[in-house]
A and B are shown apart, each in its own frame.
Chain A
Amino acid sequence: MQLVEAASEVYARKFLPRFNLTNFVLAGTVAVIAYLVLAPIFFLLWSSFRTALPTPANPGLFTLRNYTFVYSNPTTYTLFLNTAIFVTVCTSIALLLAVGFAWLIERTDMPAKRTLFVLIILPSSVPSLLMGISYIILAGPEAGLLNRLSHDLFGVKPFNIFSLPAMFILQALSSVPSSFLIVLSALRSMDPALEEAAAVSGVSWLTTIRRVTLPMMLPAILSAAIYTGMGIAETFEIPALIGVPIGFHVLSSQVYLSLRVWGNHTVASAYSVIFLIMLIGLVYLYQRATRHGFRYATISGKGYRPKLIAIGRWKYFALSLLAAYLFVTLALPFFILVWSSLFPTWQTPSMEMLSKVNLDSYREVFGNANFLDSVKNTLILMLVTPVLTVALISVASWLIVRSNLSLKWKALLDTLTFWPHAYPGIVLGVALLWFFIIVNVPPVWGTLWPIILGLTISYMPFSVRTLNAAFIQVHQELEQAAYVSGASWFTTFMRVTLPLVLPALTSVALWVAIHAMRSLTVPMFLTTRGNEVLAMLLWTYWDNDMVEAVSVIGLLYLVICVVLSLLWRRYGFRDW
C-alpha cells in the first residue's frame, strides 16, 4: 500500500508544471498540433476576404466580394440542397446495408463469418476514384459494358451511371465498410438479453429486429449516420466524376471547380469556409451523440455469447446479397481495369479481342519517369506520414488519458485533435495551399512535406481515438513501477508505455499508410513539380483522357490497397 502511494507521489511529481525536458517535449507536441490544426484554417478564413491570390501584378486587397458573390448567387443554395440530398440519401443506403450486414455477422448463424467480415470491409480498400472510373466504363448509358451485354441479350440498356440514383448508390456502396465497422462494434457491445427474452416469448426474429434490436441500436445508428454523413459530405471523387457531367454539383465539387477549372482561389476559399462550418456542425452533433458510452465500449465485457438466431433458408438470400455487394464493389471494377489495361484504347470485351491483348500500356506507364517518381514519392508518403502521425498522437493521447492535466485541458486537447475531423480533404488542401504560400513556416512548399503534414492533420482524429482506447485498457502500474525505479518520463514512455500499446500503434500506422496512399483531395492543391504522388498521377491521367494508363496504375493501386488492407486486418485490426 505504501509502495503504491509512493509511486503515485513520484508519478504526480513528474508532471508538476516546471521547465524541464519532459514538459518541453509535451508542451512542444501540443504546440505543434495546435499550429498544424489551427493555422491553415486561419489562412483559409483570411483568404476568403482577399481579392486574389497574390501575383506580380495583383497583390490582392481586403474584400467582402467573395461572400457577397457566394450568398447572392442562387446556385449556392442549390449547392446546399444538393449536398444535403446527396448526404442524406447515400447515408441512408449505406446504413441500411451496414446494419443488415452487421446484424447477419453478429447475431445470426451465418456460415464463414470471419471470411465474410474480411470480405465486407475489403471494398474500403478500393479508392472512390477507381470505383467511379470503373463504373463510367462499365455503366455508361450508351457504351457501358453492362449495357452492351444487356442490349445483346435482352435488347435494352438499363444502366446509366450518369444519373442521380447511380451516383447515390455508388457513393453509398463506397461508404458501407466504415458504417459497418461502427454498427458492428455497437451491436457487439449491446446486451443481447432482451433479444433472447423476445425469442423465448415466441416472437419471430423479424419482429425481434423491428421491436427490440433496432430501437436499442438507434443511438449507435445515429452516431454511425453522422460519421458516415460527414465522410460522404467530404467526398469529392464521385461528385466530380459523375455529378459534374449531369449538372449535380455539391460543395466539394464546387470548391474543385472554383479553384481548378475557373481559377478563382478566393471564391473557392469562401465556399470552403461555408463547407467547413457545415462539417463543424456535424462534428458537434457527432460528439454529442457519442459523448457517453462510446469511449468505454471496448472494455465492456460479455459474460456469455448471445444465442445466435437461426435464419434458415434466408441465409442463402443473405449470402447472395453479400456476393452481389462484393461483385459490384470489387470484382467488376477489378475486371474492367484489367481488361482496359490490355489495350492502347478502349475495346469492348469479346473472344475476338482476346487475341489482340498486349502490354503496350504497361510498357508506356512503367517507362515513364513521372510514374517512377510518383511511386517513390508515394512510398515516402506511406512511410513518413504514419511515423509523424504516431509520434504526435502518442504524446497527445498520453496527455489526454494518462497525464495529471486538469480535465479542462484534457478536453481542450481532445477537441483540438478531433477538430480536423470537420476538415473536408479538399478544404484542408485549399487551406494548406494558402498557408504555405503566404506563411511557409516551416519552409517546405514544393516538397512532399505539405502533403505529409496535411495527411497527418487529416488522420489525427481517428488515430487519437484509437490510441486513447488502447491507453485506457492498459493499467498505470507498470509505468509507476518504472518511475519508482528511477526511470525518466521519456525512458518510461519509450520503453514501457509505447510497447504496451504497440498493437494499437501498428494498427494506426497501417491505417494511416493505406489512407495516405489513397488520398487524392489533400494532395490535389499541394502538388508541385517533383512531389506528385500516385493518386494525383491517376487523377492527372484521367483528366488527360489516358484511360489505358489509368487502368494500369489503378490496377497496381488496387492490388496494393487490398494487400495492405489484409495486412491491417491481420496485424492491426484484430477485433475478429
Chain B
Amino acid sequence: MKARAIVLSTLVAACFAFAQLAPAPIYAAQVPLSAKQQALVDAAKKDATFDIIATWRPAEAKAIFGAFKENYPFIKVEQTMMAGAVGFERLRAEFASGRRTTDLINTSIIDLEKAGMLQPWKDWLEVFPKTKKKTLHSSLTAALEPGGTYALVYRSDLVPKNLQPLTYAKLKDPRLRGKIGVNIRQYYFWDAMYPKWNEEEIMRYVKTVIVPQQPRLYNGSGDGWEMLVRGEVWANPVSNTHQYFARYAPKGVKNIAVAPDFAGVESGKPVALLKDAPHPNAAKLFLHWLTSDNGQAALYEHRGRGNPYDETNIVGRWFKQHGAKLFEYADEEREAKARESGAQILQLLGVPVPER
C-alpha cells in the first residue's frame, strides 16, 4: 500500500515536472514585431478577449478561432451566432443602452456606417504596412471575408432531366411551381444573382417568372439550403453558394448543382470594428489576422469563401468558368438601389415591408 502511494506520488510529481519543462507558448507571430505592433499585442493581452457577431456555425467558428489562437493564444473569442439584420438590431439596442459587449460584426456595413456605429482603424496600414489591400475595406473599418457567391442552385435528382442544366429562363416551367425557394431576408441581392440583367429586366423577370410560380418564401439563406437538402424546394436562387457547398459536402450531401448561365461574386463581406468597442485591441488583432494569408485560408477552408481571382480554390475556378460578375461590396449606390427594388419584389410576393 505504502509502496503504491510512493509510486503514485512520484508519477504525479514527474508529470508536474514535465509540465514545467514544456516550452513556453509562443505569443504572436514568429516574425519580429515592430514597436507599434508590439504595443498593439500588449494592449490586446490586456483586453484578453473580444466578442463577434457572425453567422459562423459552432464547428466553423471553432476551426477559425482555433487557427487564430495558434497565433494569439492569449485572446479568448466569444461569438454570438446571428445573421446580419438581427445583429444590427442587437447592436442598436447595445448602443442605445450604453451597455456594450460586441466588438466586431460580420455583415454588410452600409446601415452601420449610416448609424455612426463603426470605428475606422486609422493607423491600420502604419501598424501592419504589409496588409493586402484586397482584403481590407477602403474605410479601414473592416477586414473582408472573401467573396460570397450567388447563383441558381438546384437538385439534379429532382428537377426533370429535360430541364437540366437548369437555367433562370427554365424556372418558368410549370413542373417547378411551388418548388422554387425565395429568401425574404436577403431581398436586395437579386442583381447579384442575375448579374447580366439591369434593374428593369430583373423586375420583369420576377413579375413574369418567379411570382406566377408561387415560390416558397423562407427567412434566411440557411433555411433555403436546408429545404434544398431535404428536397422541399428543387431550385433556389441563393446567396453564399459555395459557403453552403463547403458546409454540406462533408456531410455527404450530393445532387446539388449550380446553374451554368449566370453567377455573381461579392468582393468580400466585411468583418467590421464597432465604435467604442469594449475590446478594440484584441478585435484589431483578429481583424488583421483575417486579412493575412492564414486568416483568408482559414475562411476558405472552413467557410467556403475563397478569393475569386485565385484559381487554386473552387470559388476562383467557378468565377472563371461561369464568367461571374464581381460586385464591389463598398458600392453603396448599388446596394441602395438593390434594396429599393428588393422591397418592390417583396411586395409582389405579398410580404409587407415596413419603411426603413
Contact = CB atoms under 8 A, between A and B. Distances in A.
Interface of A: 53-58, 69, 73, 75-76, 78-79, 137, 140-144, 162, 240, 244-247, 249, 254, 257-265, 267-268, 344-346, 364, 368, 370, 433, 436-438, 440, 445-446, 525, 528-530, 540, 543-547, 549
6 contacts: A78-B352, A144-B232, A346-B226, A433-B93, A544-B83, A544-B220
B4 interface: no
Given A54-B95, A58-B116, 16 more contacts: A53-B92, A57-B116, A73-B352, A76-B352, A137-B230, A142-B232, A162-B216, A245-B216, A257-B354, A263-B111, A265-B89, A437-B97, A440-B97, A446-B101, A525-B93, A528-B99
Contacts of A440: 97
Interface of B: 51, 55, 57-59, 78, 80-83, 85-86, 88-90, 92-97, 99, 101-102, 111, 114-117, 158, 178-179, 184-185, 216-220, 222-223, 225-227, 229-234, 248, 251-253, 275, 349-356
B55 A544 contact: yes
Contacts of B111: 263
Contact of B219 (A437, A528, A543): A543
Contacts, number: 156
Contact of A545 (B82, B88, B94, B222): B222
A141 B180 CA distance: 13
A144 B216 CA distance: 15
A261 B352 contact: no
B132 to A, nearest CB: 30
Contacts of A76: 352
Nearest to B115: A55
B96 A259 contact: no
In the A-B complex, the 10 residue pairs with the closest CB atoms: A57-B116, A545-B222, A75-B352, A143-B231, A247-B350, A529-B101, A56-B116, A267-B354, A143-B230, A545-B226
Contacts of B51: 529
A142 B89 contact: no
A364 B82 contact: no
Given A54-B96, A142-B232, A267 B355 contact: yes
B176 to A, nearest CB: 11
Contact of B232 (A53, A56, A141, A257): A141
Contact of A245 (B115, B217, B230): B217
Contacts of B251: 344-345
Contacts of B248: 345
B354 A69 contact: yes
Contacts of A244: 184, 217, 219, 351
A55 B349 CA distance: 32
Contacts of A543: 83, 86, 219-220, 222-223
Contacts of A144: 232
Contact of A445 (B99, B222, B356): B99
Residue in B59, B92, B101, B116 whose Cβ sees the most chain A Cβ within 10 Å: B92
A140 B232 contact: yes
B185 A261 contact: yes
B356 A263 contact: yes
A267 B185 CA distance: 18
Contacts of A78: 352
A528 B55 CA distance: 16
A79 B354 CA distance: 13
B92 A141 contact: no
Given A364-B59, A370-B81, A540-B81, A545 B116 contact: no
A345 B93 contact: no
Nearest to B79: A370
B217 A246 contact: yes
Given A55-B92, A69-B354, A364-B59, A142 B233 contact: yes
B305 to A, nearest CB: 16
Contacts of A530: 101
Contacts of A547: 226
Contacts of A162: 216
Nearest to A343: B251
Contacts of B220: 543-545
B276 to A, nearest CB: 8
A75 B225 CA distance: 29
B356 A446 contact: no
Nearest to A543: B220
A89 B251 CA distance: 42
Nearest to A244: B219
Contact of A345 (B229, B353, B355): B229
A231 to B, nearest CB: 24
Contacts of B114: 57
B96 A55 contact: yes
A544 B93 contact: no
A54 to B, nearest CB: 5
A162 B216 CA distance: 9
A281 B75 CA distance: 54
Contacts of B349: 247
A19 B130 CA distance: 73
B116 A142 contact: no
Contact of B252 (A57, A267, A268, A345): A345
A249 B346 CA distance: 13
Contacts of A69: 354-355
B119 to A, nearest CB: 10
A142 B354 contact: no
A437 B96 contact: yes
A470 B227 CA distance: 50
Contacts of B59: 364
A349 B193 CA distance: 35
A164 B155 CA distance: 27
B223 A545 contact: yes
A141 B115 contact: no
Contacts of B355: 69, 264, 267
Contacts of B229: 345-346
Nearest to B83: A543
Contacts of B354: 69, 257-258, 262, 264, 267-268
A529 B225 contact: no
Given A69-B355, A263-B85, A546-B57, A529 B219 contact: no
A158 B114 CA distance: 49
Contacts of A137: 230
A140 B352 CA distance: 24
B102 A529 contact: yes
A57 B90 CA distance: 16
A144 B85 CA distance: 30
B117 A261 contact: no
B1 to A, nearest CB: 39
B97 to A, nearest CB: 4
A247 B217 contact: yes
A262 B356 contact: yes
B219 to A, nearest CB: 6
Contacts of A445: 97, 99
A55 B117 contact: yes
Nearest to B248: A345
Contact of B86 (A260, A265, A345): A260
A370 B58 contact: yes
A322 to B, nearest CB: 31
Contacts of A57: 114-117
A112 B15 CA distance: 64
Contacts of B226: 346, 545, 547
Nearest to A69: B355
B158 to A, nearest CB: 8
B232 A446 contact: no
Nearest to A438: B96
Considering residues B95, B97, B352, which has the most beta carbons from chain A within 10 angstroms of its beta carbon? Answer: B352
Contacts of B78: 529
A143 B116 CA distance: 45
Contacts of A53: 92-93, 96
A346 B218 CA distance: 18
A261 B85 contact: yes
Contacts of A345: 229, 248, 251-253
Contacts of A364: 58-59
A37 to B, nearest CB: 22
